[in-house]
Amino acid sequence: MGSSLAQRALIAVTLCGMAEAAFAEAACAPERVDLRWQDGRESFSVELADEPAERSRGLMFRESMDLSAGMLFVYESPRRAQFWMKNTLIPLDMVFADATGLVTRVHANAVPGDETPIDGGANVLYVLEINAGLAAKLGIAPGAELRHPSIAPAMAVWPCAE
């Protein structure tokens, strides 16, 4: 017995809704960061670097990182964030965001070992480092929104409570 077009559409909508609910349920854990933009959405498992020593060490000396992983740098207050790749062995994309979680700049394909400063711009509070090439492949660009429990809900462009 075949199913009607309406039944198949209902199943598709239900599955889509279930996937959306699963995404929302998995969201806003300290070990995850979510991003959304006009044409997409992604979630990364992250290590949190919210202390000076952790931010200083970053991803140095790592030989690899899972594709769905990253490191989220969280500062005490907005600042001009500058990074370099000294002692970093894997190429990275750096996603810079302001206090609201709005992505303000993306630096693609940072070169391992390069000591040239990478300027994230002013008023940066969050920096997400992911494997090089992922930002472009996924479509992550300025204007994307980042969600994480460290972003104050009253300020967030995409609050965790959503």
Give me the pLDDT at residue 154, please. Answer: 95
CA torsion through residues 103, 104, 110, 116, sign = negative
Q: Which residues contact 16 (CB under 8 A, 6 or more apart)?
A: none
pLDDT of res. 135 = 98
How many Cβ atoms from other residues are within 10 Å of residue 8's Cβ?
Answer: 11
The structure's pTM equals: 0.84
**Residue carrying structure tokens 């000294």:** 86
> What distance in Å separates the CA atoms of residue 54 and residue 113, rounded to the nearest whole number?
18
Q: What is the pLDDT of residues 111-132, one digit of tens each?
A: 999 999 999 999 999 999 999 9
pLDDT at 21: 42
Q: What is the total residue count of the chain?
A: 162
Q: What does the pLDDT read at residue 11?
A: 42
pLDDT < 50 regions, the chain: 1, 5-6, 8-25
CA distances from 31 to 6, 27, 44, 100, 150 (A): 40, 10, 8, 19, 11
Instruction: Check residue 14 and give its pLDDT.
Output: 41
Domains of the chain and any CATH numbers: 29-147 (2.60.120.1140)
